[in-house]
Chains A and B, each alone.
Chain A
Amino acid sequence: MSLVKLSTSALAIAAVTATAAAARDQVQVAGSSTVLPYASIVAEAFGENFDFPTPVVESGGSSAGLKRFCEGVGENTIDVANASRQIKSGEIEVCAANGVTDIIEVRIGYDGIVFASDIAGEAFAFTPTDWYLALSDTILVDGQMVANPNTNWNQVNASFPDQPIQAFVPGTKHGTREVFEDKVILEGCEATGAFDVLKAASGDKKAAEKACIGLRTDGKSVDIDGDYTETLARIESNKDGIGVFGLAFYENNTDKLQVATMSDVVPSTESISTGEYPVSRPLFFYVKKAHIGVIPGLKEFAEFFVAEEIAGPDGPLAEYGLVADPELEKTQTNVADEAVMNSGS
Chain B
Amino acid sequence: MSRKSSLLVQDRRTKKRNAAETLFKGYGMIAIAIGLLMLCILVFNIVSRGAGAFQQTFVTLEVTLLESKLDKNGNRDLADLKKVSTFGYAPLLKTAFEQKVTKAGLDTTLKTKAMAGILSKSAPADLRNFVLANPDQIEETVEFEFLASSRVDGYLKGRVSRDSIGNDKNISVEQLDFVDQLITEGSLEKRFNLTFVTGSDASDQRPEAAGMGTSMIGSLFMMLVVLALALPIGVAASIYLEEFAPKNWITDIIEVNISNLAAVPSIVFGILGLAVFINYMHLPNSAPLVGGLVLTLMTLPTIIISTRASLKSVPPSIRDAALGVGASKMQSVFHHVLPLAAPGILTGTIIGLAQALGETAPLLLIGMVGFIASNPPDSIAAGLMSPNSAMPAQIYEWAKRADPAFYERAWGGIIILLVFLVTMNTIAVLLRRRFERRW
A36 to chain B, nearest CB (A): 7
Produce 1/0 per residue, A74-118, CB < 8 A to B.
011010000000000000000000000000000000000000000
* Chain A interface residue bracket vs B: 35 or more
B182 to chain A, nearest CB (A): 22
**Other-chain contact of A41, B203, B385, B400 (Cβ < 8 Å):** B203
**A25 to B397 alpha-carbon distance, docked (Å):** 24
**Other-chain contact of A48, B125, B231, B279 (Cβ < 8 Å):** B125
B residues in contact with A7, CB < 8 Å:
227-228, 231-232
**Other-chain contact of B289, A8, A17, A30, A78 (Cβ < 8 Å):** A17
A60 to chain B, nearest CB (A): 8
Are A253 and B204 in contact, with the CB atoms below 8 A? no
Chain B residue total in the interface (Cβ 8 A):
58
A residues in contact with B86, CB < 8 Å:
45, 48-49
* Residue B369, interface by CB 8 Å: yes
Residue of B nearest to A7 (CB): B228
Are A76 and B284 in contact, with the CB atoms below 8 A? yes
* Residue B392, interface by CB 8 Å: no
Are A10 and B227 in contact, with the CB atoms below 8 A? yes
* Residue A191, interface by CB 8 Å: no
Are A49 and B370 in contact, with the CB atoms below 8 A? no
**A122 to B401 alpha-carbon distance, docked (Å):** 26
A316 to chain B, nearest CB (A): 6
* Residue B1, interface by CB 8 Å: no
From B21-29, B161-169, B190-198, B429-437, give the one contacting chain A: B161-169
* Residue B351, interface by CB 8 Å: no
**A47 to B380 alpha-carbon distance, docked (Å):** 21
Residue of A nearest to B82 (CB): A51
Are A48 and B278 in contact, with the CB atoms below 8 A? no
**A53 to B374 alpha-carbon distance, docked (Å):** 9
A172 to chain B, nearest CB (A): 19
* Residue A57, interface by CB 8 Å: yes
* Residue B145, interface by CB 8 Å: no
* Residue B205, interface by CB 8 Å: yes
B residues in contact with A56, CB < 8 Å:
286, 370-372, 374, 387
Are B224 and A10 in contact, with the CB atoms below 8 A? yes
**A10 to B387 alpha-carbon distance, docked (Å):** 19
B residues in contact with A57, CB < 8 Å:
370-372
Are A14 and B225 in contact, with the CB atoms below 8 A? yes
B residues in contact with A17, CB < 8 Å:
289, 380-381, 384-385
Known contacts A13-B381, A41-B205: does B370 contact A76 (CB below 8 Å)?
no
Are B128 and A48 in contact, with the CB atoms below 8 A? yes
* Residue B121, interface by CB 8 Å: yes
Are B203 and A59 in contact, with the CB atoms below 8 A? no
Are B386 and A26 in contact, with the CB atoms below 8 A? yes
Are B402 and A248 in contact, with the CB atoms below 8 A? yes
B residues in contact with A37, CB < 8 Å:
203-205, 401-402
Docked complex: B146-174 residues within 8 A CB-CB of A: 160, 164-170
* Residue A126, interface by CB 8 Å: no
Are B385 and A21 in contact, with the CB atoms below 8 A? yes
B87 to chain A, nearest CB (A): 5
A262 to chain B, nearest CB (A): 16
Are A13 and B380 in contact, with the CB atoms below 8 A? yes
B58 to chain A, nearest CB (A): 20
Are A58 and B284 in contact, with the CB atoms below 8 A? no
* Residue B283, interface by CB 8 Å: yes
The interface of chain A, by Cβ under 8 A from chain B, is: 3-4, 6-8, 10-11, 13-14, 16-18, 20-21, 24-26, 28, 30, 33, 36-37, 39-41, 43-45, 47-49, 51, 53-54, 56-60, 71, 75-76, 78, 226-229, 248-249, 251-255, 258-259, 309, 316, 319-320
Report 8 cross-chain contacts, Cβ distance below 8 Å, ordered by A residue.
A7-B232, A14-B225, A40-B203, A54-B374, A228-B402, A252-B402, A259-B167, A309-B87
CB-CB nearest 8 A-B residue pairs: A40-B371, A58-B370, A255-B164, A37-B204, A254-B167, A10-B228, A40-B203, A252-B402
- 10 new A-B contacts, CB < 8 A, other than A7-B227, A14-B384, A255-B164, are A17-B380, A18-B289, A36-B370, A40-B371, A58-B285, A59-B400, A251-B168, A252-B170, A316-B121, A320-B204
